[in-house]
Structure 1
Amino acid sequence: MEVAAPLLCLVAAVLVWGVLWVWGSWERVTRPEQAGLPGGGSRTLLVTAHPDDEAMFFAPTILGLARLRHQVFLLCFSAGNYYNQGEIRKKELLQSCDVLGIPPSNVMIIENRDFPDDPDMHWDPQQVAGVLLQHVEANSINLVVTFDEGGVSGHSNHMALNAAVRTLHTEGKLPKGCSVLTLQSVNLLRKYLCLLDLPCSLLLARDALFVLTQQEAAQAQRAMSCHRSQLLWFRRLYVLFSRYMRINSLNFL
């Protein structure tokens, strides 16, 4: 008993420290002035390749930015017509965005033969950059969010978006004060750990971190359920187990 009491005190102290550390980390990543994010009222453009990207990969970011009172716009570079379901998928995208709090007037879908929904087709980053810049300027955007160089899933269309944004950033073509955040790709194990990945996400380097509450996670799942044409069995498993349905780690360019 004499040994057990100090041990229990030590365990309790470690648990308290852990809770305080996690809470402190949460406070740091949700305060825009500390996370380096633009403040409330900012205009953020989420750039995706296909309908369902916004729910499958970026729901924590969209809902996290809503907490920070950002006005979120979505620029989707294809209608997702790989299986000739483009018209259906456009409607599903608008429904998903409605669940996530993005009004139809803030959703822009590009239908251009130069940007087909096809993992075997490589989009020209310069062409993508030109279209993207037009939308950034037209909507007075001060934060652009898109995929990192890994594209989360390795999809060539995702990676083309990163290449385009990186080109604009490197060449100094983005408007003054416009920042770029990219969504971290993680390895396959971490990708399917769901909330169990949170310790890694907190410990590893990142510039911004968004973690959904239970209520927000249910909202993200409702958004994904709008994409009925895409809900094959493996995507249903994805919704249950993917960290991207709960956690987004992002870095500034």
Structure 2
Amino acid sequence: MEAVGFLCLGAAVLAWGFLWVWDSWERMKSQEPAGVPGGGSRTLLVIAHPDDEAMFFAPTVLGLARLRHRLSLLCFSAGNYYNQGEMRKKELLQSCDVLGIPPSSIMIIDNRDFPDDPGVQWDTERVASVLLQHIEASGINLVVTFDAGGVSGHRNHVALYAAVRTLHSEGKLPKGCSVLTLRSVNVFRKYISLLDLPFALLHTRDVLFVLTSKEVAQAKRAMSCHRSQLLWFRRLYVLFSRYMRINSLHFL
């Protein structure tokens, strides 16, 4: 009888937890994220390599599309670490087409200042200068990029955060331009897919984007455009990573 009681209690707790997550998610879907500029805003996604937009930011890209943002993308390298730069540029354009970002809104920087190399630390001031020029020229209202952890810890990812943090802290961003950074999580949470949703709801965040099943399929199609990168471990990543379904972001 005691065992039955524990089982009933466990079932009740699980049911309550499921209902809490469902209720929180339904309420969140019906609200626009606080602090995010409204429809028609010019948003710039800043990434380090072709495939970052699909591997890490697909929920944000598709979530902002729901909010009718005009999204553009700035990629700081061609991803030429294995001499595949030209191929990866084409793959990025194909992926962005799936995600709804037109070619006219995509800028790929391909020069020696920003090599695709986890062993090279990009110059913060140089990155910040290029980024600021792009923000000002395009009249950007919202910048989205990595946080200090860079999701994977890649130095090139972290360099983007350092640059935008510098612009923000020194007051160089145009008036009305906000910055959202993608929250890095621990390895356990990173690879439990949608099961991370309760953790995402419980932890402090400013903005949370969660994809529908239809949007998840769209994100996977975008990632499949990066054929040169689809090694076995990245295929597992697509299946299990929470970043293919969930993005938690913070304002600077």
TM over 0.5: yes
Match of 1:39 in 2: 38
- Supply the distance in 2 between the matched residues of 1:18 and 1:190 (Cα, whole angstroms): 18
2:48, 2:156 within 8 Å by CA — same for their partners in 1?
A: yes
Within a 5 Å distance, the mapping from 1:64-83 to structure 2 comes to 64-83=63-82
- Supply the distance in 1 between the matched residues of 2:149 and 2:91 (Cα, whole angstroms): 26
Measured against aligned partners, the alpha-carbon deviations of 1:30-56 in whole angstroms (never above 9, x if no partner) come to 633x52111111111000000000000
SS of the aligned residue for 2:131 comes to helix
- Supply the distance in 1 between the matched residues of 2:250 and 2:23 (Cα, whole angstroms): 21
- Supply the distance in 2 between the matched residues of 1:84 and 1:30 (Cα, whole angstroms): 45
Measured against aligned partners, the alpha-carbon deviations of 1:11-40 in whole angstroms (never above 9, x if no partner) come to 7798478536643455346633x5211111
- Supply the distance in 1 between the matched residues of 2:235 and 2:49 (Cα, whole angstroms): 18
2:21, 2:198 within 8 Å by CA — same for their partners in 1?
A: no
- Supply the distance in 2 between the matched residues of 1:133 and 1:96 (Cα, whole angstroms): 25
Relative to the length of structure 2, the TM-score reads 0.92
The one-letter amino acid paired with 2:90 is K
Match of 1:63 in 2: 62
2:40, 2:68 within 8 Å by CA — same for their partners in 1?
A: yes
Measured against aligned partners, the alpha-carbon deviations of 1:150-181 in whole angstroms (never above 9, x if no partner) come to 00000000000000000000000000000000
- Supply the distance in 1 between the matched residues of 2:56 and 2:21 (Cα, whole angstroms): 27
Match of 2:215 in 1: 216
Tell me, which stretches of 5 or more residues in structure 2 are unaligned? none
SS of the aligned residue for 1:115 comes to coil
Q: Displacement of 1:70 after TM fit?
A: 0.5
The one-letter amino acid paired with 2:231 is L
Change over 3 Å in CA distance of 1:171–1:206 after alignment to 2: same
**2:118 is the counterpart of 1:119:** yes
- Supply the distance in 1 between the matched residues of 2:30 and 2:159 (Cα, whole angstroms): 29
Tell me, which stretches of 5 or more residues in structure 1 are unaligned? none
- Supply the distance in 2 between the matched residues of 1:14 and 1:124 (Cα, whole angstroms): 49
Measured against aligned partners, the alpha-carbon deviations of 1:130-163 in whole angstroms (never above 9, x if no partner) come to 0000110111100000000000000000000000
1:30, 1:210 within 8 Å by CA — same for their partners in 2?
A: no
**2:174 is the counterpart of 1:175:** yes
What fraction of aligned residue pairs are identical, expressed as a percent? 74
Match of 2:23 in 1: 23
Within a 5 Å distance, the mapping from 1:189-200 to structure 2 comes to 189-200=188-199
Within a 5 Å distance, the mapping from 1:87-102 to structure 2 comes to 87-102=86-101
1:147, 1:182 within 8 Å by CA — same for their partners in 2?
A: yes
Measured against aligned partners, the alpha-carbon deviations of 1:56-102 in whole angstroms (never above 9, x if no partner) come to 00000000000011111100000000000000000000000000000
Within a 5 Å distance, the mapping from 1:95-244 to structure 2 comes to 95-244=94-243
Q: Displacement of 1:112 after TM fit?
A: 1.6
- Supply the distance in 1 between the matched residues of 2:205 and 2:138 (Cα, whole angstroms): 27
Q: Displacement of 1:225 after TM fit?
A: 0.1
Report the aligned-residue RMSD: 2.3
Relative to the length of structure 1, the TM-score reads 0.92
- Supply the distance in 2 between the matched residues of 1:101 and 1:147 (Cα, whole angstroms): 21
1:77, 1:109 within 8 Å by CA — same for their partners in 2?
A: yes
Figure out how many residues of one structure are paired with residues of the other and give that number. Answer: 249
Match of 2:84 in 1: 85
- Supply the distance in 1 between the matched residues of 2:137 and 2:75 (Cα, whole angstroms): 16
Match of 2:52 in 1: 53
- Supply the distance in 1 between the matched residues of 2:29 and 2:135 (Cα, whole angstroms): 25
SS of the aligned residue for 1:146 comes to strand
